[in-house]
Structure 1
Amino acid sequence: MKPMFSRRSFLRSSGGAISGIAVTATLYAEEGLGRSKALSQPNDLRFTEQIFGLNYTDTERALVYDNVEALVNRMRTRREKAPLSNADTPAQTFDPRLPGEVYYQQENRVRVYSADAGPLPNDENIAYAPVWKQAAWLRAGKITAIRLTDIYLQRIQKYAANLECFVTVMKESARKEAYQADIELQNGKDRGPLHGIPYGLKDLADTAGVTTSWGATPYKDRVPTTDAVIVERLRAAGAVLLGKTTLGALAYGDLWFGGLTRNPWDLGEGSSGSSAGSAASTAAGLCSFAIGSETLGSIISPSGRCGATGLRPTFGRVPRTGAMALCWSLDKLGPICRYAEDTALVLSALNGAGTGDPSSFDWGFAYDGKTAAAEDMVIGYNPVWFEDATVSEVKVLTDLRDMGFTLQKIDLPDMPYDALLTTLDVESAAAFEELVLTNRDDTLKWQEPQAWPNTFRSAYFISAVEALQVDRFRRKVMEAMADVYRHVDLIVCPSFAADMVVITNFTGTPSLTLPIGMEMRQSTPLLNQPAPDPDRRKKPYPQAITLWGTMFREDQLIAVGRLLEEKYRFFEQNRPVLNTETTP
C-alpha cells in the first residue's frame, strides 16, 4: 500500500527546517489525499519535541500547532516565487575580524629568499622546479613560456589519465596564452612573477565557455559564460591555464563523476580531497602550481596525502565570485604548490576584495623571505598532540628549537567544537536545496551515510534556533582562539590533531601544510573498498605537518615553512614514480 506521504514529498512540501515542527503542517498530501487522520493532532508534535529536547504542555502544543501551517506556507511561497541559485549569497556575511582586535597591516609586496635560479636543468627537473626559479629562467631567456607549457602538457598527456586528476585539458588556449606571454616578456611587458607560469584550476571556479562541473554528475555539462574573479586575476598576472583539475563531487572527497583521483605515490589509494586533482597534479609535476579550495580540510588533506604544500588563506582574503558556493561562511580559495614561497607568489596575485563576494575585503599581503621568520617568534604546541605522531612529526619540534624559535606549551579551550559542524550542514544544504527538492541528489555517485546527499537531507531536520545558537557559539570560539594567539605567533601540530582543522576553519585563520619526509605506512583503501590486510607490508608515503597562523599572518607561516623545507628538501630527495600503466 502506498504511504500517505514519503520522505521526498515531505521535504519538497515543507523543508522540515522550522525547528522540526513543520512535520505536522506537511501532513496535507500533495495529491489531494486530504489531512491524515492518524497524524493531524497537536499531540503529533511530541515526536519533534523529543528530537529537540523540548517539553511543551498540552496548551502550548495546541498553540504551536495552529501556527505551523502559516510557517510552512511562507516557505512554500518563497520557493515558488523566489527560487534561489547557488550564486545567491546570504544577506548575513561572516567576518573573521573581531571587534576591538588590532590586526597586522601590510603593504602589498613579495620578495623570495633567493633570486639565484642556477642553470636550466632537464625537462623533469624543470617541471618540478619552484615557480620563482621558472620565473627567473623565463626572464633570463633560458626558457620560453611555450616550452614550459609544452613540458607540462606532455606530462599531462602521459600521466593525467592514470591519476584521473584533470577533468578538462585546455591545450590550445594554454599554448596561445603561453605564446602571448613570450611576446609580452620579449617586448618588456612583465606582469609579475607568475607571467608565463602554467597552472591547474580546481573545477569549481568558472571558466567562460569551458565546462565547470563541480565534480558532480548533475553539473557535468555545466558551461559558464563568465570567468571567476580568481581566473581574471591570474590571467592579468600572466599565468597560463593548463586545464581544470578534479575535485570530489561538490567539494567533498576524491570521487568525482568521471572517476576517483589517485595519489601519485600509490595508484592504489585516493589522493584525498576535495582539492584532489590540484594536489595530485602538483605533486606529480603536471603543473607549476594549482588552485584549491577549502571548507573543512580540502586543501590540508590532499596536500598532506600527496606531498604538496597547501596554503589556506585567511577567510576573506581571496574573493570567491564565480566559484561554487558550498558554505558561504567557510569557503576559501588558495594555492597548492610544491614549495612554500611559491604560495606567497600566488596569494599575492589572488589577494583583495572582489565584486560579488560580500565576505571578501582588501587587506595587504606582504612577504619578505629575508626577514619574515624573526627569531623571536613563539610557536605554540601541546605534547599530547605528538604522543601518537610519526617520527617526522616529532622531529619538527626539535628542528624548530634548533632554528632558534621559542616553543611554548599551550592548551586549547575545552569546548564541543564538533557542534560547529551544524553550520556546515545547514549552509551546504541551503546551497544545494534544488538538488534535494528535485531528487537530483540521487544522481551523485557517493550515497553513503557520510556523503553529501544524506547530509543535505538530514539538515532539513536541524532546528533554525539551534543553527543560530551554533553561530553564537562560533563567536565564543573565535574569541577564545584570539586569546590563545595573544601568547603565540603560530601553532604547530599534526594536521588532524586537536580539532585544529575544525577550529581554524570556523575562526577563519590561515594554515600551511607541507611535506616533511617519508614515513612507512599501509595504503589507505580506496572509497568503498575494504581496508588492507593488517599484515600487509608497509611502504613509504609523504608525511606532512601543518602550521596554523593568526589572522593575516600568512607571511609567518610561509617563512617558517621555507626553513623547514630547506632542511628537509622534500622534492629534491623524493618524487613519485609515475607510470602509464592501467590503474588498479
Structure 2
Amino acid sequence: MNPADIAAAEAIMGIEYTEAERALMLDNLEDQIRRARIRRGVDLGDAPPASTFDPRLPGFAMPHGRGALRLPPVTAPLPQGDTDIAFAPVTHLAHWIRTGALTSARLVEIYLDRIAVLDPKLNAFATVTPDIARAEAAAMDALTLQGISLGPLHGVPYGLKDLFDTRGIVTGWGGEPYADRVPDTDAAIVGKLRRAGAVLLGKTSLGALAYGDLWYGGRTRNPWNTSEGASGSSAGSASATAAGLCAFAIGTETLGSIVSPSERCGTTGLRPTFGRVSRAGAMPLAWSLDKVGPICRTVGDTGLVLSVLNGPDLSDRGSIAAPFHWDATASLDGLRIGYIPDAFARAATDADRAALETAKSLGLETIEVSLPALPYESLLDVLFAEAAAAFEDLTLSGRDDTLTWQDAPAWPNAFRKARFLSAVDHVQLDRLRYRTMQAMDELMTGIDVLIGPWRGADMLIASNFTGHPCLHLRNGFSDQPTRSPGALGGGTPLPTGGPPHRVPHGISLWGNLFDEGPMLSVGRALESAFDVHTIRPEI
C-alpha cells in the first residue's frame, strides 16, 4: 500500500486528506486491513448483531396493559359458489368452519384448484404443499367434529413468504444460490400459526433475497394486469391473496415490501410495529429493520392475523413484549387523524386527495402536522450495510454472480458499494436515525393516526427506520399502462407503454408505536366508505 492507494480510496469515500496525513496512516491501515481479514475468516453462522434496535424513546409507556381483540359477529351465510367462498374474509371462513357450514378440507381443495388454474399465469407460489395442506385440514376438521377449536384461524389455509424456514420444505429466498435450501426446523411464526389451526398451502414467491418481484422462478405477476410484476418483495403473498389463491398470506417489510405489493395488487397489508412479531427462522436482510406482517383482503382480517402472530420470542433479539389491543366494535369518537399538507401537494394523486376528504367525512378531528426536513434518504445506507453483512459470504465468494437480475440497482451491487462507507459515517447515520425517531415521535404526538400517500418517500423511509406501524388499503382504481417494477425506497414505477389497465390504488395509514388499534379502526371505517375492497381481478 502507498499514499496513492489512500488518495484513490478518499475519492470513493468522499473525503480528502493531505499528503502528510496519508503518510502517517500507512502503518495503521495495514493493521486495520489485517484485522478485517482475520475477522472475515470466521464463520459467524446465523449470529445476529450484538447491538439491537429499540423503537422506544426514553419515557415511552407501552399502551394497553392487556391485549384484547374484539371483532363484530359474522352473520353472512355460506355462499354457494366456490369463487365467492375463496374470496370471503378470513373472519367469515373461520366462522363457517367453526359452525360446521364449511370444512377446512373443502376450502383447501377450492384453493388448490384455483392455484392449479391461475398460478401458471401469476407465478405467485414458489412451492405448493398439497399433501401437507390436506393432512392439516383433515386434522382440523377432526377437531371441529369434537367441538375443539385451536383459535381464530382454525382450518383457514394461508400462503407463507418463502423466506420463512419450513422443516423439510424448500425455502429458497428467491435467489439461485439458495434454490435447494431445505431447513431442518420451522420459523417461529410457522409453529405459532400451526398451533392456531392455520393450514399451510405453500410458500409464496419473493423477489431474489427480498428485492422486487423477480426470482429464480421468473417474475410474479399482478392479477389486475398480468403483463406487469406484482412489485415486491412480498410479491407472491400479495398476488396470491388478491387473486383468491389463499385466505391470507404472510409478508415481510424492510423498506416497502408489504406496502408496495399491496398497492400494486390491491391487497390490505399491515406492517406492525418493529419488534412485535418474531423473525426467528426468517431470512435476515436487515436486523434492525425487518418486520413480519399479514397481507389480506380486509382490514379486519389483518387485525385477526396479527393477534395470532403477536408475542415476544427470546430467540429473536429484536423481539419486544407488547400487548395487541383492538376493539373493532368501538366508536371512532375522540380519535384524531393527522395529515402532512405538503405530502398531499407533492406526491399525491387525485385519488389520494379524495381519500383524505373521505377521512375528514368520518367526523374525526383532523390535524395538520409536519415532518422536519432531515436527510431521510441517507438512512438507506444503514439498510445496505446490514444487508451486505447478512450476505457477506455471497459477495466475497463471488456466488452473487449466479443471481439473475433484470432490475437495477440490484442487491449484489448494493452489497459491494456498502463496503465503501466508513464506520464513522455509520455511527453518524445511527445518530441521524435517533433524530428521526424524535421527529416521528413529535409528529405523532397529539394524533392517533396519520394518513398519506404511500409514495411519499420521506414517510416510507422515516417510519420504517423508526419502527412505526403502517396499514395500506385499497381506496379506488386508476387506468395505468403496464408499469416497470419500480425502485427501492418507494420510487414511482415508470410506465412501459401499451394500453391502459384498470388497476388498484391505495392509501396508507400510520399509527403510534405498539398501538395499531386506532389505525385499524380508522382503516376499517375507510374501507367501508371506499367500498371497493370486494371488487375482484379478472384474470
TM range (shorter): over 0.9
Distance in 2, matches of 1:362 and 1:552, equals 10
The change in CA–CA distance for 1:525 and 1:486 in structure 2 (over 3 A counts) is closer
**CA displacement, residues 307-327 of structure 1 (integer Å, 9 cap, x when unaligned):** 000000000000100000000
2:34 paired with 1:76: no
Task: Give yes or no for the alignment of 1:426 onto 2:389.
Answer: no
- The whole-number CA distance in structure 1 between the counterparts of 2:83 and 2:65 is 37
Distance apart, 1:60 and its partner CA: 2.7
Q: Is the 8 A contact 1:200 1:290 kept in 2?
A: yes
**In the alignment, which of 327, 345, 349 is matched to residue 304 of structure 2?**
345
Which residue of the partner structure matches residue 503 of structure 2? 541
Given residue 203 of structure 1, which amino acid in structure 2 is its aligned partner?
Answer: D
2: distance between equivalents of 1:487 and 1:109? 24
Is 64-73 or 283-292 further displaced after alignment? 64-73
User: Larger radius of gyration, structure 1 or 2?
Assistant: 1
Where 1:523 maps in the other structure, the secondary structure is strand
Q: CA deviation at 1:523?
A: 1.9
Q: 2:528 aligns with which of 554, 566, 575?
A: 566
Specify the SS of the correspondent of 1:116.
coil
Distance 1:532 1:260 in 2: 16
Q: Secondary structure at the match of 2:158?
A: strand
| Displacement after TM superposition at 1:530 (Å) | 9.2
The 5-angstrom pairing of residues 417-566 of structure 1 reads 417-446=376-405, 449-525=408-484, 531-533=495-497, 536-566=498-528
Q: Deviations over 1:269-324 (max 9, x none)?
A: 00000000000000000000000000000000000100000000000000100000
Deviation at residue 397 of structure 1 after TM alignment = 1.6
Pairing 1:44–2:5 present: yes
CA contact (8 A) 1:251 1:274 kept: yes
Distance 1:366-1:121 versus aligned 2 partners, 3 A rule? farther
Instruction: Give me the identity figure in percent.
Output: 49
The counterpart of 2:334, out of the listed 368, 372, 376, is 376
**Alpha-carbon deviation of 1:527?**
8.3
**Counterpart amino acid of 1:328?**
W
Cα drift, residue 188 of structure 1: 1.9
CA root-mean-square deviation: 1.7
- Deviation of the 1:537 alpha carbon: 4.0
**Matched residue of 2:142: which SS?**
helix
**Offset at 1:448?**
5.3
Retained in 1: the 8 A contact 2:212–2:485? no
- Tell whether the 8 Å contact from 2:62 to 2:322 is kept in structure 1 after alignment: no
Structure 1, residues 182-231: CA drift from partner, whole Å, max 9, x if none? 11111122111101000000000000000000000000000000000000
1:147-204 Cα offsets, whole Å, 9 max, x none, are 1111111111111121000010000010000000011111122111101000000000
Residue matched to 2:357? 398
1:266 partner letter: N
Structure-1 separation of matches of 2:407 and 2:525 = 42
Query: Which amino acid letter does the alignment assign opposite residue 411 of structure 2?
Result: W
Partner of residue 25 from structure 2, selected from 56, 64, 88: 64
| Alpha-carbon distance in 2 for matches of 1:343, 1:418 | 29
CA distance in 2, matches of 1:494, 1:113: 29
User: 1:468, 1:476 → 2: CA distance?
Assistant: 13
SS at match of 2:496: coil
Please give the alpha-carbon distance, in whole angstroms, between the structure 2 residues aligned to 1:297 and 1:154: 31
State the AA in 2 paired with 1:252: Y
Instruction: Sort the Cα spacing of 1:54 and 1:518 in 2 relative to 1 into closer, same or farther, 3 A.
Output: closer
| Structure 2: runs of 5 or more not aligned | 488-492
Contact 1:167 1:244 in 2 (8 A): yes
Q: Say whether 1:326 aligns with 2:278.
A: no
SS at match of 1:460: helix
Q: Which runs of 4+ in 1 moved over 4 A?
A: 526-531
**Separation in structure 2 between the aligned mates of residue 153 and residue 270 of structure 1, nearest angstrom:** 22
Residue 451 (structure 1) shift = 0.6
Q: Alpha-carbon deviation of 1:402?
A: 1.5
- Using the size of structure 2 for normalisation, the TM-score is 0.96
* Counterpart position of 1:244: 203
**C-alpha offsets along residues 230-254 of structure 1, whole Å, 9 cap, x if unaligned?**
0000000000000000000000100
Alpha-carbon offset, residue 391 of structure 1: 3.1
Instruction: Give the counterpart of 1:367 among 312, 326, 333.
Output: 326
Please give the per-residue CA displacement for 1:1-37, whole angstroms capped at 9, x wherever unaligned: xxxxxxxxxxxxxxxxxxxxxxxxxxxxxxxxxxxxx
